[in-house]
Amino acid sequence: MTALVVLLIALVLVIGAIWWSRHKVLERRRAQFEDDQAEARRWTERLGGQVLNLVGTTEPAKQALADAAERHAAAVSQLQQATSSHQARLTTESALEGLYYVRAARLAMDLDPGPELPALNGQRYAGSVSEFREVEVDGEQRVASPEPTERTPHYYPGGTVAGRPVPQGWYSDPWWKPAMAAGMWTAGSYVLMGAMFAGMTTVPAEAANADAMSAGDPGADGGAEGLDGFNDGGGMDGFDIGGFGF
């Protein structure tokens, strides 16, 4: 057997090994995507059932259910477009966020909230509102509360918005939504957060320290958590992202 034949055989074996290795990797990725897709579908369907079957009887409950319906619509759209495990997991995150709104609505109607839900990305870090706060910023009264009230009908489950923690709680208005849409906070938002959360031990210092927040941290210019991630490898610009059943 000549050296050339040996070389060709070795080359064929190497190419075959590379092909087989790549084939197994692709198979694992495909199986993982199917699992993640099934998980996303399960949570999305569970959220849809809750949205359809619950009717708000208080203003906070109505608002929370409206937000839950919005997250369900986003999750359904995401599920239809998902082409990777990462995108499927973002869909699950949207559905879970919607179920947090459902849970909040149930609490606002004095119903059993059901079992605890898996934590959302950044939720534990963001902390929670532990006491009633009322502040005036730019001539406007803003209120935060750990419980739903007539003055605080807007719930947020807690998480990171545009690189900054927004604590779980009930608020007089959804002041975090402009940053979620624009991907950055305004100076007025820093002042509001500093005034609202200063000295609240259940909220990270980053959320309460207006000077630190406006000091040029790169996170301030980031998009709302998870929004950009849906474009990784999928090229789906504008994909809007965002519990257990009861």
Token reading at 144: 């935060």
User: Tell me, what's the pLDDT at 222?
Assistant: 36
User: Tell me, what's the pLDDT at 210?
Assistant: 53
pLDDT at 93 over 90: yes
Residues 109 and 167 in one domain: no
C-alpha–C-alpha distance, residues 175 and 109, integer Å: 24
C-alpha–C-alpha distance, residues 103 and 94, integer Å: 14
Provide the pairing of β-strand 140-145 with 154-156: unpaired
User: Tell me, what's the pLDDT at 224?
Assistant: 36
pLDDT, mean over the chain: 84
Average pLDDT over residues 115-125: 92
pLDDT at 201 over 80: yes
Tell me the per-residue pLDDT of 139-198, one tens digit each, with 9 for 90 and over: 899 999 999 999 999 999 999 999 899 999 999 999 999 999 999 998 888 889 999 999
157 within some domain: yes
Residues 113 and 136 in one domain: no
Q: Of 110, 71, 228, nearest to 160 (Cα)?
A: 228
Contacts 24+ apart (CB under 8 A), 176-180: 179/224, 180/224
β strands within the chain, DSSP E: 133-137, 140-145, 154-156, 159-161, 164-166, 169-171
212 within some domain: yes
Residues 109 and 166 in one domain: no
Average pLDDT over residues 115-134: 93
- Enter the pTM of the model: 0.77
3-state secondary structure of 26: helix
Token reading at 124: 């534990």
**Domain limits for position 192:** 124-221
- Structural domains counted in the chain: 2
Percent of the chain past pLDDT 90, that is, above it, reads 61
236 within some domain: no
C-alpha–C-alpha distance, residues 99 and 107, integer Å: 12
Residues 131 and 111 in one domain: no
Average pLDDT over residues 193-214: 78
C-alpha–C-alpha distance, residues 205 and 107, integer Å: 28
Residues 157 and 133 in one domain: yes
User: Tell me, what's the pLDDT at 230?
Assistant: 53
Out of 62, 91, 118, a domain closes at: 118
60 within some domain: yes
Residues 131 and 101 in one domain: no
Residues 140 and 213 in one domain: yes
Residues 64 and 130 in one domain: no
C-alpha–C-alpha distance, residues 139 and 182, integer Å: 24
Tell me the per-residue pLDDT of 214-227, one tens digit each, with 9 for 90 and over: 444 434 333 334 43
